Amino acid sequence: MQGYIIDVKSVRDDDLIVTIITREHLITAYRFYGARHSNINIGYKIDFELETNLKSTMPRLKDVIQLGFNWILDRDKLYCWQRLLKLFYPHLKDVEVLDSFYFKLLDNLVSKIIKQNPKRAIIESYIQLLEFEGRLHTEFICLLCDTTITEKISLVRSFHPVHAECTYSKQFKMKKVTSLFHDKSLIMFEDDEVEYLWNLLLQGL
Nearer to Zn ion, 111 or 148 (CB): 148
77 binds Zn ion (CB under 5 A): no
164 binds Zn ion (CB under 5 A): no
Please list every residue from 103 through 162 that binds Zn ion, using CB under 5 A: 142, 144-145
Q: Which residue is nearest to Zn ion (CB)?
A: 142
Question: What's at 73, amino acid-wise?
Answer: L
Q: What is the largest CA-CA distance in the chain?
A: 61
Helix, strand counts (H, E) of the chain: 6, 7
Among 163, 186, 197, 198, binds Zn ion (CB under 5 A): 163
Q: Shortest distance, CB of residue 193 to Zn ion, whole angstroms?
A: 20
Helix, strand, coil: what percent of the chain each, to 5? 40, 25, 35
3-state secondary structure of 36: helix
From the list 59-67, 69-77, 163-171, 180-188, the region that binds Zn ion by CB under 5 A is 163-171
205 binds Zn ion (CB under 5 A): no
166 binds Zn ion (CB under 5 A): yes
Alpha helix (H) residue ranges in the chain: 75-92, 100-115, 118-132, 164-167, 174-183, 191-201
DSSP state of 71: T
Q: Shortest distance, CB of residue 36 to Zn ion, whole angstroms?
A: 54
Nearer to Zn ion, 31 or 163 (CB): 163
Residue (of 43, 89, 49) closest to 69 by Cα position: 43
187 binds Zn ion (CB under 5 A): no
Nearer to Zn ion, 119 or 163 (CB): 163
**Interface residue list for Zn ion (CB under 5 A):** 142, 144-145, 163, 166
